[in-house]
Structures are given as structure tokens and as C-alpha cells.
Structure 1
């Protein structure tokens, strides 16, 4: 089968031919139809310090996908051959304290598809049956492929009550744009989104943002005044991993404000802890999706809101056949795009 793999320690990837994976007990084999490109994949292709510390080649990468079940292993009763599915990319141990307490998203032995085990940039991928999310038969394949990042957006956006609140989202990448749509869906009052890319800010505006701010040209405080906000933001969603974005978010939060932080910084950076303390701010780290409350939440929201579904699908701006993976990676790395999808059908 075709597979996009990290064949050796160092920059680059190769589209190679490898044997189809075998399915074991309690596992499911899936024919990949669509796969989404993620920032993690760009790190792996580039082979930065983080990638070198976690990946042991050879490895098939990719963890955002949608496909059709072609085979089930012994003991599988929850999934049937022929079903269309997405997959939760975090494989957990089910034995640590967090897993046993029902907090699987904070498993201390999380094994990630496409990072620690062979992933979905291939014709077939094998994952545990418990990680399979069965989709409606009529779901658009592209939409099915972005449930992983949509889950990140949902987990982050729903971390704190948001109805009637003023929300600041820093970072208008695909997840930030999805979070914008979710914030409006659940009843936020004002949603302000920041970035330095006008094209990405246009996506956020189309997804429902009340104001977008190019922070290379404007300040968030000016937008607060334009909106008539006499106090700071109630909820902040940090999606960029940019130190300056985090600093400006903290400066513009209301007393008692709550920040959910998904964006992963490249390096350590200072934080104005004095303001965090005196303004009694809450900062919560977000990683992945709650297993599996987030999956139920996003499926329910999409099934009841055509507008939200349309907004999520609008994030997908580029599509490439798998053989054009290099162009797909170049487009994703450019920053002048939303979500990039590769077609493996």
C-alpha cells in the first residue's frame, strides 16, 4: 500500500510502498479516504527538536482521517465492516490512575497515532476499536477528516461557560476559526479574533467573529472600545502559541477571566504572573480532546446546526491527491490557507 513515511531521522518524508497493516485483537482496519494536515505533521516533516525527541523512524505519519472499516479483529463488537468512521488519535493505557478514573484524555502513557505508532497518511490504518468514532453514512468525507482538530476546538471552547460572555481568540488558524463558530453557536456575546494573516482573519469573520484584529496593525484594546466593552474579556482561547499573543490576552482580560490555552509555544516565555494573580485569572492547559465527551458534543452540535457545519467546512480551503503531498505540505506551511486535506481514495 502507499504510505507517507518518515524513513530516517532527519528532515523530509517519502511516499513509499509498505505492507498493509494486520489487524489484531480488539483492533479495526480502516481504508483511509481523506486525511487532514496538522501542524504536528509539519514538525515531523521538518524534523525539529521536538520531532527528534519523540519519533523513532521508520514511521507512517498522519492522525487526522476519515475512512471505511474493512476488517475487524477478534473481540470487536462495537464496529462493523463497511461503516464510515473517524478516529481518536490518542491511544491510552486504560491502567493508570487517570484512565481508571475516567479521565483518559490525561493518560500518562498516551500513545499517539502518527507520532508513536503508524498513522493515517496511508491507504490503511489500524487503531483500537475503542478509538473508532462511527460517523453518519451521509457525512461529507472532508468533514469527517477534520473531527480531530474540530475536537481540539470544541474541547477548548467548551472549557468554560461561554453564553453571554465576551470572548477573545488569539490565532485564526483552522482550530481558532472552528472555535469562533462554536463560541457563537453556544451564545457568546462578542467574539474577537486576532492574527497577523488577513486571509485567515477573513475565515474567522466568515465563521461568525464580531471583530477581527490584525495585531501587526491594531491593538485589541482599541477593538474593545469600539465594541463598547467597559470591562475586559471574560473568556480567552489562546490558539497561536505566540508569546506576544498570550501577553496581550492577559492584558485584556477582565478580573476573574478564564483562559484556555491550546496553542503550543516553541520555547519557554515569561508571563506577567503579577497580573494573573491580582486579576485572579484562571489559565487552563488543553491537549487533544476529552475522551469521549468532546466527540459526543461536536457530533451533536453539527447534527443540530447547519450553520455550524457550514462554518467548519469553510475552514477547508485546499485539497490535494495523496501523490501531491509535497504541494500540500508547502501550502499548509505557507500560512495562507485554512485546513489542507489529502485525498487517499
Structure 2
């Protein structure tokens, strides 16, 4: 089989490897589609992932495929099943796992980060990490389960109340998923702030009530007029740059919650407007990975309640992984998928 190994800083190597054999408690998956995540981009440039990366390793943690072999003791999965992979594996023993905060696990492993993942033709994974997809759902959609699961954890953290005004800052794949989830959570109005016209257009198709360009004159006044003159109740920042964080604070009304969803550079900092936090009584939250939300993501995708097709814009092969990463970094793409 073909596997694309990450060898370290901005280097991949395509190798021919034997197809793995199932071990007790595992399944072998014929990988079909794997999304290029912002975390993959960070790792490619030598930055941190969700867990320590030790090359050589096959990256790719947003993927789906078909079960080709079932190991001894596995229940609930059979050959031919369509599955999506929940990459994050928790130790279950540290204080965070035992206190219901498994995403903070001190010993977390992750398929496609610390062990071989989706950027290869076949993978072997613990059976517990493989979740059933409806066979009628395109496997490309299944590859979006992991980012959707992360977004669900973010939505849970944001605590949107029915009738809230929600502003999403950044209209990439994550932002477009969050626009849809905010509506499902009961938001009365959903605003997207995004400079890219193509992404604003897709956001409107996916249910955003107002899309604003933060680079245009009068965008803030337009936002305030739509939001009722005071701002948003919940602001979700998912662009990962200084300007986006700054605008999140600007869009916040009194008593608002600001969720910093994006994966920033390790050294990134932002000077918090402390008086605004004090006077507006702001709540600032972070969000990390997808604890106990992957099954909910699969259910949403299986149900068709979340639109995926407009978000996937480009497809590449395993041989084209550097090009896929470059495209994911460009303004042209929303979501890039690699087909195994």
C-alpha cells in the first residue's frame, strides 16, 4: 500500500508499505477521504499538534473509510462497514480523565498525530475509535466528522441560549460549520465576519443571516444596526489571527461570551482589553479537541442536518500532499480533502 510519511519540517516521503493486519481489539480500514486540518498545517511547519509528533509518522486525523478486517474480540463492527475515525485516545487514568475532563489528558494519543493516520491507503485503529457512518452518506462527508465534533464541543462551551445573537469570526470550514450549529442551537441571528467574498457567499447559503466584510468601511455600524445596537451575545473566533481576536472583543455586547476556537501559533499573544472585560462582564473561553462529541457529529452528518458539500472545495491524492497543504493555506480553499 501507499503511505505518505511526515519526515519533519515541511518534508513528506511516499512509501510502499505492507497492508496492516488486525490485532485483537482493532480494525483495519481502507482509507477513503482525509481532510487537511489547520493542525496538519501547523505540524507541517514544525509547530505543535494536539499531542507530541515524532516523525516519521503518517499524519491525517480527519478521515473515513471502509472496514476491511476485524480483530479478535471486536463487537459492533464488520467487514464492509463505513466508518469515521475519532482520533483522540485518552489514558483514562490521569486526574483529568478521572474528573471528566479527558480532553486535558496528560497521556493523550491521537491517530494521525502520534500514530499513523489517514494519509495512507490502509490504517489500523482501535475498534473503539471507529464510528459507523450511514452507508448512504458520502465518505467525503464522513471525513468531516472530526472537525464537526470539535465544533460541537465549542458550541457546548459557548452555551448559546435560544434567542441569542451569535457572531462567528472567520468563514473557513470551521466557521461555516459553526454558523450551522449556532442556528441549530437556537440563535435568533447569526452573523459571519469574513473578508473573503466566496466564503461569505457560502455562509449565506448555509444560513448566516448577515455576512460582513471587516475590511470594508462601515462594517461595524452595519453589524450594530443588525444586532440591535449593542453587539452579539456570543462571539466565536475561528480565524487564528490578531485582527480576528480584536474584532471578537469589538463585537461583544455587555455580558457576552467570547469563545476563542482557533488554533493559534504557539507564540501568539493578544493584549486583553481588561477594562472591557470588567465593564462588560465578559466571559472568555477556550476549547480543545472533541471529548465525547464525535458520535453526535456522526449522527448529525447521518441525519443530513449539517450541509457538508459546499464546504469541500478541493481534492488531492496522497502523492500531492504538499500541494494539498499549500492549497489549504490559500484564500482559494475552504476545505481540502485528500483521497487515498
**TM-score higher than 0.5 here?**
yes
Q: How far does residue 59 in structure 1 lie from its aligned partner after superposition?
A: 0.8
Partner of 1:247: 246
**Structure 1, unpaired ranges of 5+:** none
Distance 1:221 1:250, change over 3 A: same
Given that 1:247 and 1:272 are in contact with CA atoms closer than 8 Å, whether structure 2 keeps it comes out as: no
Distance 1:140 1:2, change over 3 A: same
Partner of 1:313: 309
Cα distance in structure 2, aligned partners of 1:250 and 1:228: 15
Q: How far does residue 225 in structure 1 lie from its aligned partner after superposition?
A: 3.2
Partner of 2:291: 290
Q: How far does residue 273 in structure 1 lie from its aligned partner after superposition?
A: 2.3
Query: Residues 217-238 of structure 1, C-alpha deviation per residue, up to 9 Å, x if partnerless?
Result: 2465312333151322101111
Q: How far does residue 303 in structure 1 lie from its aligned partner after superposition?
A: 4.6
Q: Give the match's secondary structure for 2:220.
A: helix
Partner of 2:71: 73
- TM (norm. structure 2) is 0.91
Q: Give the match's secondary structure for 1:80.
A: coil
1:109-258 matches, cutoff 5 A:
109-159=107-157, 160-218=159-217, 221-227=220-226, 229-258=228-257
Partner of 1:3: 3
Distance 1:224 1:82, change over 3 A: same
Q: Give the match's secondary structure for 1:69.
A: strand
Q: Give the match's secondary structure for 2:74.
A: coil
Cα distance in structure 2, aligned partners of 1:225 and 1:259: 17
Q: How far does residue 193 in structure 1 lie from its aligned partner after superposition?
A: 0.9
Q: Give the match's secondary structure for 1:133.
A: strand
Partner of 2:323: 327
Please report the RMSD computed on the Cα atoms of aligned residues, expressed in angstroms.
2.1
Cα distance in structure 2, aligned partners of 1:32 and 1:303: 19
Cα distance in structure 2, aligned partners of 1:273 and 1:75: 55
Query: Residues 11-62 of structure 1, C-alpha deviation per residue, up to 9 Å, x if partnerless?
Result: 22122212333433322221101111111222233x33436x9322111111
**Structure 2, unpaired ranges of 5+:** none
Cα distance in structure 2, aligned partners of 1:117 and 1:316: 26
Given that 1:220 and 1:252 are in contact with CA atoms closer than 8 Å, whether structure 2 keeps it comes out as: no
Deviates more, 1:273-282 or 1:31-40: 273-282
Q: Report how many residues are paired.
A: 336
Cα distance in structure 2, aligned partners of 1:20 and 1:219: 57
Query: Residues 143-187 of structure 1, C-alpha deviation per residue, up to 9 Å, x if partnerless?
Result: 011111111222222331342110011111101011111212332
